[in-house]
Structure 1
Amino acid sequence: MPYRKLDKELLSKILISYVLNIRGFWCLLFVGIAVANISLLQAYGNTPNHFATQADIDKSKAGRSDPLPFYLTKICTKSVYMGSDMLACEAGYVLKVETLDDGTVVESQFMDEYDGYGWSHSRIKKLNDDIYLFNLACGSYCAGNILVGRQGKKQGFDYFFDYDTKTECAVEYDYDKKMWVATPFFSENRIDLVQTVGNIESDVLPKYDLMFNKTGDVEVFDRSSESRISLFTISNPCQQ
């Protein structure tokens, strides 16, 4: 079946931290592996694989509190015996399954044909019934993060990144602006957090760390300080 075109912007997003990784060697090695093996969100056509039950459809249309199934899971297609009754995955992909309002179940491949390194250095986290976080690590200060939602929604982030599920807001360090920015989930709107301007260590790493607290506000920390005491707080960063 035909594939959708490769999302070049998202691919560059997940690779930018590889290029900026000051440790160099492992980063460049993994970039070569990633370019050779990664195809982001390549989906099959919209031909349904199977259908949900009529009861599920009726409940969905009636505003059911439990939404129709949507999930991401890792699938191993090739494994190798490591001894001592241990197996390691050498190749695989991430399967995305979404049930539409009409009951159609659509399956697509996410991270198609990635190798053993990608398999062992990636993880999937369910944020809520509609959103998953996919993380692919490649070393110190080197990683890509992708929010994956229903109806083809996706949003990529670099290594320095945090999020709040309740407010559906994320913050990310912008290497070009040398400051942190805030953005609502799956939005192109990026809000400059001018209080966080600054970097350290060869103009690569941010001067500040940002972390969401339980109330959905952002705590700002000095990365060069051993103390983890918040310097100040940014309230409602996605509503600045």
Structure 2
Amino acid sequence: MSHSHSHAPGEEHSHSHAQEAPQSPVLPAPDPALQALIDEDFQPVALSLSDDRHNVYCGAHRLEKCDACDVDYVGLNRLSSLLAVNPNLLCPPPANVVTQKVSQVVKATKDEGNSLFKSSLHTAAINRYTAAASIAVSRPPWEANQLMRDELSTVISNRSAAFYEAQDYVSALADAEAVISMRRNWSKGHFRKAKALLGMRKLRDAAEAVKLGLSFEPANAELVTFLAEIEKFEKKLQDEKYEARVQEKLIAA
């Protein structure tokens, strides 16, 4: 009796057989002791549903995030809304499935900011970087978090540079700290922090920021050069202070 073959040269034979129905996995019985602990710890919470029944709120105040009720449903509601507008999604896709349109819009908005920055239109550049950051954090919650962090840290790093050029050193420092919190081993965040601190005339703090960056990337040319500039500037200030003291003594004499 002959069998039907469907394979290319060099491939294994694939004989046609009736397809077996997939079997449902057999779930293990819950551990009674663990289940008892869960039941003991469970506290019922009063909920209120939206009219479309997609979102939940606290029962007492109908708020997504309520300090009085100690609940926060913002993330849950966002996931629920995304699934509701995509009815074909029976469940969230794998984390490695990326929404390319979001990446494209983030990049395009960031590039607009870069063009404005190069034209010394720093306030306008800050606005575009802020818009790009808002888009970056709007990714669906099931996507890989690292992608959002990489996009966001790059945009915020650029915004820190724009704040620095606008002489808003406090905002530049805040953005640099945010970059470091997202990508601690990335040299650019430490460079941005050092620049902001230098603008605030905190030379020793700026040098320490560079040294921390160099602990992650010892051969980073940008950090090595900037540390030398800081030390040169610090020496110049020390020399100026020394000359001023000498002048004061000569005048007093």
Q: For this structure pair, what is the TM-score category when the shorter chain's length is used for normalisation?
A: under 0.3
Structure richer in strand, relative to its length = 1
Structure richer in helix, relative to its length = 2
Using the size of structure 2 for normalisation, the TM-score is 0.26
Larger radius of gyration: 2
Greater relative contact order: 1 or 2 (C-alpha under 8 angstroms, separation 6 or more)?
Answer: 1
